[in-house]
Amino acid sequence: MSVFEAELKNGRFVISECPRCQKTIWPPSEFCTHCFGNTVWRTISEPGTLVEYSSKDGKTFCIAEFEDSIRVMGSLDAKTPSVGQKVKISSCGFDKSPQFTFRPE
């Protein structure tokens, strides 16, 4: 299990960053895609922005964007979602793939 997956299981959404290139590495990796050096892990900055959503059978799924570049899918806990609104992570986990639940800020 990668650092990314293990941290998600602990309820933390972390991303990797290369200290040498000062670039965020996404999808997360223990190695920089530019210089192949080791990356460091840090918690993502919140809130994110709701990019799009769709509702089906009473459940809402969405894509949220963090730090203007990192897009993740998850479920959305909002009665009246609107594109562009700020969202925070209410829970996250890992079960074969990353699991996120977002709520309005």
* Least distance CB 26 / Zn ion (angstroms): 13
3-state secondary structure of 49: strand
Nearer to Zn ion, 20 or 59 (CB): 20
How far are the Cα atoms of 32, 62, 88 from residue 22, in angstroms, in the given order?
10, 29, 25
Q: Sign of torsion, CA 93 98 99 104? A: positive
Nearer to Zn ion, 32 or 89 (CB): 32
42 binds Zn ion (CB under 5 A): no
Q: How many residues interact with Zn ion (rule CB under 5 A)?
A: 7
Pick one of 20, 42, 71, 88: the residue that binds Zn ion (CB under 5 A). 20
Pick one of 18, 50, 76, 89: the residue that binds Zn ion (CB under 5 A). 18
b/e for 5-15, b at 16 or more Cβ within 10 A?
A: bebbeeeebbb
Q: Could you list the residues that contact Zn ion (CB under 5 A)? A: 18, 20-21, 32, 34-35, 37
